[in-house]
Amino acid sequence: MGNIFSTNRSSLTIWPLIASAFICSSALANELYREALRPQFHFTSAKGYINDPNGLVYVDGKYHLFFQAGPINAKRWGHAISTDLIHWNQLNDAISPANGHPAFSGCAVIDHDNTSGLQTGEAPPLVAVFTSWGEGQCLAFSNDQGMSWKRYEGNPVLKLRHDAKRSFPLSARDPHVMWYEQQQRWVMVLYENLNAQKLRGVSAHEQGGFSIFTSPDLKQWTRQSHLSGFYVCPDVFELPIQGEKSKAWVAMDWAKYTTGTFDGTRFSPHGEALPLDYGSKDTLSANQTWKHLSDGRVIQICWIRGGKYPGMPFDQQHSFPTSLSLRRVAGRLRLCKQPICEISQLYGKREGLKQAALTEGQIEELGVGSHSYDLQLELSIFSEGQILFDVLGVPISLTQHSISIRDRTVKLEQPLSSLRVLADATSLEVFVNDGLATMTFTTFPPDVPQPVRLLMVKGEANLREAKLFEVQTIWNFDHSPPKRARAQ
């Protein structure tokens, strides 16, 4: 089988440093981001532990990514910004614990009409709505486009009966706030457990649900409804349906989603919730999205949970951003996702294979000498056929109607037609049939980068196209940061 391309691309020009505050000295930064287990195109904190992404907002040409950082009893909001969703510069922390209350997860909105009255300059304020653990739901605001933050003096703006317990099954948390244009008011979707106590034999994931509140000003909230059967990290948004003129609403927690209708006060599901990801249990979690983008996309980023990074200055990572869409399959709506197209900015060395018939025992090989790459396959596997290959030492088995990775097998709703794998040193993100199903895993890379070898174990297949792109680093190794203030 011939190699259809094998070219090198010059190193990327990392986007210019902006004259704002970055977290570490030039000498320290030069030692960071070069570590053996550092993902090269997935976001990680320069140092320390991170988990949930928070407060995703786009303003003045910059994407803001806030994230949970530090130990659980001292959680704070870390902060990074990007102009392209690819290259990130980490700032100093935005929201710190106060009065013994850690700053847990939440969201950020642009208050365009200054309904909150928190605006002090010409630009509308950014308002973060977050859980102050043990206190309730609180506000912090910024009048300099997210560069400095101040807590609202009237916090908490919403306090519920279990908040003081600091109980994961019981305490309300993770507010998601959006402006509902038809009713000219704010809507909050909040995880809340309406039970008086923890239920024995019932997991935390099943006890609670989403409570919906409304507000004219982000400060005063009125309860409207409750959607049971959902856990933390709520997100609710509307998407167009591919090939149709209609739209549908999506509601998701940290592990599952459902489509439905929403009238500003109540979400009505179309049916049972489906998994957001079919990989290792809870590996992909704490989902959040950027919305209201000029190109109409809704872009998701998540926490890739549970990875091990021995000897590294950082701990945990985020998923690569994906663009979300709705597709109707066998009469039911499915949430699909694909890596954002901006990833092509990072492509370096590349390999490809021409279209060919694969027969039993045949081996084909692709390699770019890296632990960070984007593998793309378009293929059809005939009845009883099986293909086996591995990525970063993780075996992947394909048949016409299934994909198996480690102990996970996904039965496909449609015959396998495409497969995409983002491999990045310590993680695998797998997209099946144009993102109709995804599987996410953490792993350790081999000592030396290995080529991808496709083995036709049995039967036959038609390989229409195979591409392998090296994905180059997103990190700028030469930070030289001043400092800035943060909310206390």
When pLDDT is cut at 50, 70 and 90, the band that residue 481 belongs to is very low
- pLDDT above 50: residue 12: no
Per the listing, tokens 């009255």 go with: 117
Q: What is the pTM of this model?
A: 0.91
Residue 161 to residues 11, 98, 132, 137, 167: CA-CA distances in angstroms? 55, 21, 14, 12, 12
pLDDT at 487: 54
pLDDT tens-digit profile of 47-100?
A: 999 999 999 999 999 999 999 999 999 999 999 999 999 999 999 999 999 999
When pLDDT is cut at 50, 70 and 90, the band that residue 25 belongs to is very low
The pLDDT of 326-331, averaged and rounded, is: 95
The pLDDT of 27-55, averaged and rounded, is: 89
Residue 112 to residues 70, 116, 160, 184, 187: CA-CA distances in angstroms? 32, 10, 28, 12, 15
pLDDT at 194: 85
Question: What's the rounded Cα separation, in Å, for the pair 64 and 198?
Answer: 36
HEC sequence for the chain: CCECCCCCCCCCCCCCCCCCCCCCCHHHHCCCCCCCCCCCCCCCCCCEEEEEEEEEEEECCEEEEEEEECCHHHCEEEEEEECCCCCCEEEEEEECCECCECEEEEEEEECCCCCCCCCCCCCCCEEEEEEECCCEEEEEEECCCCCCCEECCCCCCECCCCHHHCCCCCCCEEEEEEEEHHHCEEEEEEEECCCCCCCCCCCHHHHCEEEEEEECCCCCCEEEEEEECCCCCCEEEEEEECCCCCEEEEEECCCEEEEEEECCCCEEECCCCEECCCCCCCCEEEEEEECCCCCCCCEEEEEECCCCCCCCCEECEECCCEEEEEEEECCEEEEEEEECHHHHHHEEEEEEECCEEECCCCEEEECCCCCEEEEEEEEEECCCCEEEEEECCEEEEEECCEEEECCEEEECCCCCCEEEEEEECCEEEEEECCCCEEEEEECCCCCCCCCEEEEEEECCEEEEEEEEEEECCCCCCCCCCCCCCCEC
Structure tokens of 480? Answer: 């030289």
Give the up-direction half-sphere exposure of residue 308: CA atoms within 13 A in the CB hemisphere. Answer: 4
pLDDT at 170: 87
- pLDDT above 50: residue 288: yes
- pLDDT above 70: residue 8: no
pLDDT tens-digit profile of 93-142?
A: 999 999 999 999 999 999 999 999 999 999 999 999 999 999 999 999 99
- pLDDT above 80: residue 414: yes
When pLDDT is cut at 50, 70 and 90, the band that residue 21 belongs to is very low
High-pLDDT (> 90) share of the chain, %: 85
pLDDT tens-digit profile of 204-245?
A: 556 689 999 999 999 999 999 999 999 999 999 999 999 999
pLDDT tens-digit profile of 427-471?
A: 999 999 999 999 999 999 999 999 999 999 999 999 999 999 999
The pLDDT of 155-183, averaged and rounded, is: 94
